[in-house]
Amino acid sequence: MGTRALVMAAYLLLPLPLAAQETDNENPAGKVVYDRWCAGCHGTDGRGEGPGALTMLPRPRDFTRALYQVRTTGSGELPTDDDIMHVINVGMPGTAMPGWEDLLSSQEREDLVTYLKSMSRFFNSSPPPAQLEFSNAPRVSDDRIAEGAEIYEQVECSKCHGRSGRADGPSAPTQKDDSDLPIYPANLTQNWRFNGGGTVEDIYRVLRTGLDGTPMPTFSDLIDAGVITDDQLWNLAHYVRSLSPEESPRIREVITAANVGDGEGGLPTSPTDERWETVDKFYIPLVGQIVVKPRWFNPRVQNLWVQALHDSADVAMLVSWSDPSRSPNEEWAPFAQQIVEAMGPKDEGSTWAPGAPDQLVVQFPLTLPTGMERPYFLQGDARRPAYLWSWRSDHDRAVEMVARGLGTGQEQPASSQQVSAEAAWADGEWRVLFRRSLATPDSTSDLQMPRATVVPVAFQAWDGNNGEAGNQAAVSTWYFLALEEPVPVTVLITPLAAFLLTAVLGLVVVTRAQRREKEIPGRN
């Protein structure tokens, strides 16, 4: 908090001067754009209470308070016009805020900036905010990342963001934003969802400015106080950047399960087996279940990573995902309660109760579809049932189910349970390894998985400590699991024949041309 904040606080006590009111009415251009495109979430009055607001957590920005997260100015300061324009242009990743650069003209966006500023008296009363001076990013190196890791502990990032960066720090369940609503620390292993941008420059900027309105503080004062240097802050930024993959993950429709053969080793039997490190990981984004009542607009599990292998008898599938806590967990119960209350007015009928577990469902069709028609993506329908592997953290085992619609899953009798699961939770991450034989004796109640086929697969995940239970889950639509086989040698016959045939043909043509050239030199 600087003197600017004090000036602002003092200003609150003063009556609104006429000048400010006039500015409000002077800008109909910006208001037209705002009312049409922004008011749906931010509200006509700019308080962040538009009709869409209740489907979002954190709620949309309240422009009347002039608290902006993404800035180039000091903590507690107003944003520059360019800062506001930047967020309008590119949006905020990981939130509902899109970029408007393509839809609105530059004039419309400039009008909008003026209008947004007119919603708060602070912009009129304060001198234009000064941009902080940012140094240039030093080149990344292992040494810098290693020092960044030390700074990460020294300045207590791990208290909220956790040792691994998966938002699993001890203070995570107690965080609130300036509207007194529960808020999650960022998951630092997913930089493509950082709301201020995911480059090392973006991270450094957020470390310098803080995210006003959230618990994320500025670290500029630690530099001013001589606790760390600007260079060390860059190292911290490089370290945070290194927690995420170099490139944002691509969505691939087909998850390939290679055949590991029946030789020594076989399939990995543990979710933490280091052989999984070398198996291709497939990224599956999840979204809230917003089709069937009660809907869920605040899913905690934003994505999964799926890896799969098979041999001649079994298939093994490792599903891993970020989850800051192992549910149920008493420390998180109040947080979950607050989430349920914050999202409750939107869709009533939550079946959550303290003690709710984490859950994962891997869903297949009950029988392999012959055409393109698959069961409904939410656990099937009456005509085309779904076959599920359902895992719960409180039972620590998976069961086979058959479902004809979301939540209608019937557990198969113990005598015909074929799937096994082993789960491990560490540093804010679940790893659940499922294993089942490709063919089972229950040919009518289990999906049979012939080798060299493509099997539809979908996923659903629940975080009990985020108020999720019943229909309120994170879901995906259909993907495909390909049980690959090594390419047989016989496949090479055709290409080899084509190669030889063309080569012989080429030789014949060349030799004939050369012979004719000798007989009649110069003849073309």
Partner 1 sequence: MRFWPKEPFWQGVAVLVMAFLLIVFGIPYLPPLLGIPSAPIPNSVVVQYMLTALVGVLLWVSDNQTRWQQFKQPFHAVMVEERKKPIRMILLVLLPALIGFIAYGRVKPSLDAPPSFRAIHPAPPSSITFQGRTIEITGLENPLRTRGSLDDHYEEGKSIYYENCLACHGDLLDGLGHYSHGFNPTPLSFQDVGTIAQLAESFVFWRIAKGGVGLPNEGGPWNSAMPAWEEFLTEDEIWAVTIFLYEQAGKTPRTWEEHAEGGEH
Note the residues at the interface with partner 1 (CB under 8 A): 36-37, 40-41, 50-52, 54-55, 95-96, 98, 100, 102-103, 251, 253-254, 256, 285-288, 290-293, 297, 346, 371-374, 376-377, 381, 452-454, 475-480, 482-485, 487, 491-492, 494-503, 506-507, 509-510, 513-514, 517, 524
Q: How far apart are CA 209 and CA 207, in angstroms?
A: 6
Q: Judge contact between 44 and 36, C-beta under 8 A.
A: no
Looking at the Cβ atoms of 5 and 509, the one nearer to partner 1 is 509
Shortest spacing between CB 173 and partner 1, in angstroms: 25
Shortest spacing between CB 381 and partner 1, in angstroms: 7
Read off φ and ψ for residue 331, nearest 5 degrees.
-60, -30
Sequence letter at residue 319: V
Looking at the Cβ atoms of 18 and 496, the one nearer to partner 1 is 496
Say if residue 441 is preceded by a cis peptide, omega within 30 of 0: no
**Pairing verdict, β 254-259 and 479-483:** parallel
Looking at the Cβ atoms of 235 and 460, the one nearer to partner 1 is 460
Which residue in 363, 370, 234 sits closest to 289, CA to CA? 363
Looking at the Cβ atoms of 2 and 407, the one nearer to partner 1 is 407
Read off φ and ψ for residue 286, nearest 5 degrees.
-115, 155
Shortest spacing between CB 361 and partner 1, in angstroms: 15
Looking at the Cβ atoms of 66 and 304, the one nearer to partner 1 is 304
Sequence letter at residue 206: V
Q: How far apart are CA 139 and CA 119, in angstroms?
A: 41
| Three state DSSP letters for 186-216 | CCCCCHHHCCCCCCHHHHHHHHHHCCCCCCC
Shortest spacing between CB 495 and partner 1, in angstroms: 4
Shortest spacing between CB 191 and partner 1, in angstroms: 16
Looking at the Cβ atoms of 123 and 479, the one nearer to partner 1 is 479
Neighbour count for residue 162 (Cβ, 10 Å): 24
Shortest spacing between CB 291 and partner 1, in angstroms: 4
Looking at the Cβ atoms of 170 and 450, the one nearer to partner 1 is 450
355: its two tokens? 């003690």
Shortest spacing between CB 520 and partner 1, in angstroms: 11
Shortest spacing between CB 17 and partner 1, in angstroms: 32
Looking at the Cβ atoms of 234 and 462, the one nearer to partner 1 is 462
What three-state secondary structure class fits 344? coil
245: its two tokens? 């993959």
Shortest spacing between CB 220 and partner 1, in angstroms: 31
Taking phi first (over 0 means left), then psi (-120 to 50 degrees means alpha), and beta for anything else, what does residue 210 get?
Answer: left
Shortest spacing between CB 285 and partner 1, in angstroms: 5
Q: How far apart are CA 386 and CA 37, in angstroms?
A: 41
Shortest spacing between CB 513 and partner 1, in angstroms: 4
Q: How far apart are CA 309 and CA 158, in angstroms?
A: 35
What three-state secondary structure class fits 460? strand
Which residue in 461, 428, 466 sits closest to 166, CA to CA? 428
Please name the residue that has the structure tokens 């052989």: 275
Cβ-proximal residues to 516 (8 Å cutoff; 6+ apart), any chain? 523
Looking at the Cβ atoms of 253 and 331, the one nearer to partner 1 is 253
Looking at the Cβ atoms of 50 and 271, the one nearer to partner 1 is 50
Looking at the Cβ atoms of 437 and 453, the one nearer to partner 1 is 453
Q: What is the DSSP string of 502-520?
A: HHHHHHHHHHHHHHHHHHS
Which residue in 351, 355, 429, 364 sits closest to 390, CA to CA? 364
Q: What is the DSSP letter of 182?
A: B
